[in-house]
Structure 1
């Protein structure tokens, strides 16, 4: 029989609306509380997804019906909430990234060391079935020795400039997801990074000192090369592909469409429906799978995957990439921050 965990969902923004339905769909999770310091926002979300609306964090954390907490609040609040929830002894699932600075990430890791509770970071792309299958092919030696690993991650349109200003920069905001995924697939982290950025779609983003298009190369200890291709705009939809190339072959993941049929007739050849619109549609299943992993880790008494250490490593590499793009040179992540 599946053990049911009462969940406090913290936050009522976009990611909370991703997790609300996934909690309700999981047989081992029960949406007990939705928390927001603004009670009206909590009440609105609770009316949509269930659970009790609460605006008193101490009351949430002392509630006997709350067995675990999902933090889906703005990034700059993550560390403070992690400290509070860890002191209360509740297991934590936290949206990525932990924070935009290594200093604050270290603060969160100290709190988790002092108050050891199960902690999982929401690097959901690890839990996408296609990505997991590609990793398994690499791990089982299907392509022999991994020589090159490449990802294409292009968003359909730039975000609002207000978001860009608080995003931490494109590498920390977007490339960090690819960094974690590809290091997880390769089973190693880079000894050197080389990155470049440009602004080709939105002049306002460039005026903020940020990029809307980047290319990143990670050199791994094994000698394998990892390439990450990012764009904040893409005319044909949400472009998400991976390729692993080895001395014995290659494996790829392909883009998702609502209709995957290839049609041939006297008017067209191989035309297909457009790509999935954005990450909420493309990675829908991955969010459920990630929560399933969180539930299993707690109920089976094992450490969750996608740890705080993984989050720190991905952030350190992303910051090194940003430094590389700014300075026009290769950077070693371990020596980038003194």
Structure 2
């Protein structure tokens, strides 16, 4: 297996997701940790290996760096994508590409003029349960698909500082469900209708955002998609999917550390709590996504989560936000 030296851009929460996964992959080597603040880069390098660097030009000129993983704040993604593409380095980038379609289009133009392998980190596509459900749909295991539904509820609201920089609930969170369900259905919506409310943290409402939303996507085929999101959930990280067809239905269920169902004198069917958050629930998906990136860079296959997928998901998320604010359905058209 060809080994690729990676530069991990960023030292925040997602760096601590990707650092261990890179180290565990036999075809990947963590070569560089980059942050403009060298002390931050050094701390992460001490944990996961690699050289701490604070000079972007030097990182991208380093012959030991075969590709980059961009795990920096969203508003920096486009700048790093452009720099890496111009340097000829393959790119894996966390979602979303940006919060602005204009800036996303700028990144796409750069990738067109400086073509390199590019993959967007929609990790939920790479979760084994989600992949199995999609396979059942694609293989017509439930006949003709009629409806898709997802439940994505987080255990507690994030800090208000995060909310202010998030781009809004639809762009920050619902975008994962949008991409996943469009991927499963094999098509994109022609119309969206969304509603939002603020029920858990009034500070989120003061910021003009929601902590609870419902979204409906209508596909060109007539398939209806429902997305149920909440920033708070008393029983943990609730993540489920259902695909309903004219010949049956398939579901993914929540995951627990202990899946035994217990029956005794004091309880019936009591089970362990749900996985705490996305870091635990989707741990395997991040490794699987990096594995596909390795395959894309080494020429084994094209990446499945593309920059165009990222643009489409953002356009849909922004339309959902528009719908929730206006109370009206929003029509969409994709080439």
Map Cα deviations across residues 280-301 of structure 1 (whole Å, 9 max, x no partner). Answer: 0000000000000000111125
Give the aligned partner of residue 295 of structure 2.
Answer: 296
Match of 2:327 in 1: 328
Structure 1 residue ranges (4+ consecutive) displaced by more than 6 angstroms after TM superposition: none
Paired with 1:301 and 1:283, the residues of 2 have a C-alpha distance of: 24
| Alignment correspondent of 1:234 | 233
- Partners of 2:24 and 2:131 lie apart in 1 by 22
Shift of residue 334, structure 1, vs aligned partner: 3.0
CA shift for structure 1 position 72:
0.3
Instruction: Determine the structure 2 residue equivalent to 1:83.
Output: 82
Residue of structure 1 equivalent to 2:281: 282
Number of the residue aligned with 1:142: 141
What is the aligned residue count? 334
Query: 1:333 Cα shift?
Result: 2.5
Distance 1:57 1:166 in 2: 24
* Alignment map for 1:1-338 (pairs within 5 Å): 2-300=1-299, 302-334=301-333
Q: CA-atom RMSD, angstroms?
A: 0.8
- Measure how far apart 1:266 and its partner are: 1.7
TM-score, normalised by the number of residues in structure 1: 0.98
Q: Distance in 2 between matches of 1:174 and 1:45?
A: 26
Shift of 1:303: 2.3
CA positional deviation for 1:241: 0.1
Q: Deviations over 1:225-249 (max 9, x none)?
A: 0000000000000000000000000
Aligned counterparts of 2:292 and 2:33: Cα–Cα separation in 1: 21
Per-residue deviation at 1:265? 1.4
CA distances 1:101-149 after superposition (whole Å, capped 9, x unpaired): 1000001000100100000000000000000000000000000000000
Task: Report the 3-state secondary structure (helix = DSSP H, G, I; strand = E; otherwise coil) of the residue aligned with 1:300.
Answer: coil
| SS of structure 2 residue aligned to 1:191 | strand
CA separation in 1, counterparts of 2:28 and 2:102?
33
CA distance in 2, matches of 1:43, 1:6: 18
After TM superposition, give the deviation of residue 184 of structure 1 in Å. Answer: 0.1
What is the CA deviation profile of residues 9-35 of structure 1, one whole-angstrom value per residue up to 9, with x for unaligned ones? Answer: 000000011000000000000000000
Give me the whole-angstrom Cα distance separating, in 2, the residues matched to 1:149 and 1:298: 33
Secondary structure at 2:311 match in 1: helix
